[in-house]
Structure 1
Amino acid sequence: MTHEVQGVVARHRGRPVSVETILVPDPGPGEALVKVLACGVCHTDLHYREGAINDEFPFLLGHEAAGVVESVGPDVEDVEPGDFVILNWRAVCGRCRACRRGQPWYCFDTHNATQKMRLADGTPLSPALGIGAFAEKALVAAGQCTKVPKVRPEAAGLLGCGLMAGLGAALNTAPVSRGQSVAVIGCGGVGNAAIAGARLAGAGRIIAVDIDDRKLELATSFGATHTLNSRTGDPVAGIRALTDGFGADVVIDAVGRPETYRQAFDARDLAGVVVLVGVPEPGVTIELPLLDVFGRGGALKSSWYGDCLPSRDFPMLIDLYQQGRLDLDAFVSETIALNEVEEAFARMQSGDVLRSVVVF
């Protein structure tokens, strides 16, 4: 059986998206059909629209989603119809060299659904991050479905990408220890999630850095103890002044530009940690003095999806949300309809929202 639904498609590089009829097949072996309840508008979707990830147009956008499993294919054991799930783009294989050495969060052979969702004329679609959830139903690999307790889907779905990236950068990649000083450069959705993660980890001083005072004000609500506007002052000097002249124990770059990475590198203490979680544009390079790389010690780390293991991290974070210790609702700036995604991209670029969320 083929399901006919509406979905958001990017047909051409840099052109506005459109809502079109999507044909979604029933799940085959190892696959699941999910009724999407909510899906966040992420910068990664915009990167797809702009052709900054690859040129495999047309794309079915959307990936920060939560929904209910409608049906599963053969050989699926971990989820069943009726399960409330968060979709993830890291369905671990269990067989690659990372999985075999007990580090499945680095899985090098993550997989997606085998069958294709298509346009009405039969054109195969490339689903964003292997998900494609700006649609009423999505076909995914069953391993991309993480069962969690039923909560507000608008909030839960955001763990599927941006929030998990920021939370995981602090909790998993760094990882932040109790009492440490932490600076976060860039206070959008990912950066504020890193701030929330640092607070959960018990950080002592949490310094938020951005060029927008509106974002800095939000950062304090997520746990920042100090804020710095890098448009009006030197963030490196500011971070050092707030850490007794030493620099922060952990600096998280949630922007991913050469200038912000250099700020993170220069603002860390001896033996400190730099975590890059902001996604750089293709072709961007950076130069660092090798003697300082050596002499400062510590670590320069990149955070892939917050180094998360969805089956471990999503239920734990939803539990914290239910306890009132992690305010996922605060990241939902607005809820929108499916035909408002293009306008949501504009609000995201202007910094007016942390997350717009499509609600079905």
Structure 2
Amino acid sequence: MIYELLRKANAKALIHEFDLGSMLTNSPIPTHVAIDARTADLQGAPLPPMVQPASGSDTIMIFHTSGSTSGSPKLIRCSYTWLGSIIEKAGLTGKSIRPMGHDVTVWMGSVCHIGQTSMLLGSLQSAACTIQPTQIAFSSDELLDMITRCGLNRLNQFPAFLGIHMRNSRQNPKLLAQLCALDETSIPGSRCPARTKSGRPSPPVRSKYQIRFFPLVPREQPAEGYADANSQLLELVILSDSPDCPDPSLRQADGHYHTGDLFVEVALGAYDNARAACGALIADCIVVGNARPSPVLFVEPGVAMDEERLKREIIRKTRHFHARRYLHERITSPRMVVVVPSGTLPRTATKGNIRRRAVEEAFKAELDQIFAA
């Protein structure tokens, strides 16, 4: 996979840790061992001249995604203009909270991923300290240790991992108290299974960043004289002339970047996220149905409940939502809900997101049985 990414990026060299050299004997490009800056004398080391781009659209970096959607990472080309906007926004979100001393945050992933790099750009501007945990999905005990020994006050973690600490805090008063005492909790990447908090208001969005809410389908004039607001979902779209609009290869045919995040306009100019869940009933879930006549919901339960009763409760709570969907989009029978033990659904190693395609492959027999009935 690494060599394939290097080929797609047209890479010219690979820099690696000393311990990984034996794995790279067949590398298609030259390899170089990274220098340990902690022991090297860099006082008089020359720096190469700064590269001046011919255009703000020139590529300055190429990151990659976690591969949570397709199972294989995608390359993300970043322009000078885009990086400049991210540095500015990271400076706002990463602005120091503590009136005295430095903020302390935690490493959330590889710097090859765009999420950690964005966090680091904010931390560098505020001279914050960054803890590198033993693993990305660090335990609640390690989190407590980072808070008490290292002074962690700003926790940024992918929702799937943060949700574990929140669930553990229900039985651990000390963990709950320390989570509540944090100055800020940030959740990047995907839906969070529980509420989080921040000790300060969000920074204002600068006017030069252009976003719009596009309707998924043209709004129809209701014959009854009133409209159901929930029937008109709006998608958050970053416009092409916004400096933070991603690379053109990631945009839609209209030239804009469609995020896939859906909202409802509850009042003029006020939007609520429309991705509702079933409260405490569900710890995590995913809908699959590729090449199937209808979707199937896989659920990891959030409560101790009889499996059949849980299925019926989920159907009852989502009945109104599915009533507004097309017939082939609806999940209206408990037979189309599959309950599995917590932690069973395959996830990505970086974000902990559930991998839809991997679920379909792992539970192919169960899906075949559902649609054969």
TM range (shorter): under 0.3
Q: TM-score, normalised by structure 1?
A: 0.27
Q: TM-score, normalised by structure 2?
A: 0.26
With CA pairs under 8 Å and 6+ residues apart, which has the higher RCO, 1 or 2?
1
Identify, as 1 or 2, the structure richer in strand: 1
Larger C-alpha radius of gyration, 1 or 2?
A: 2
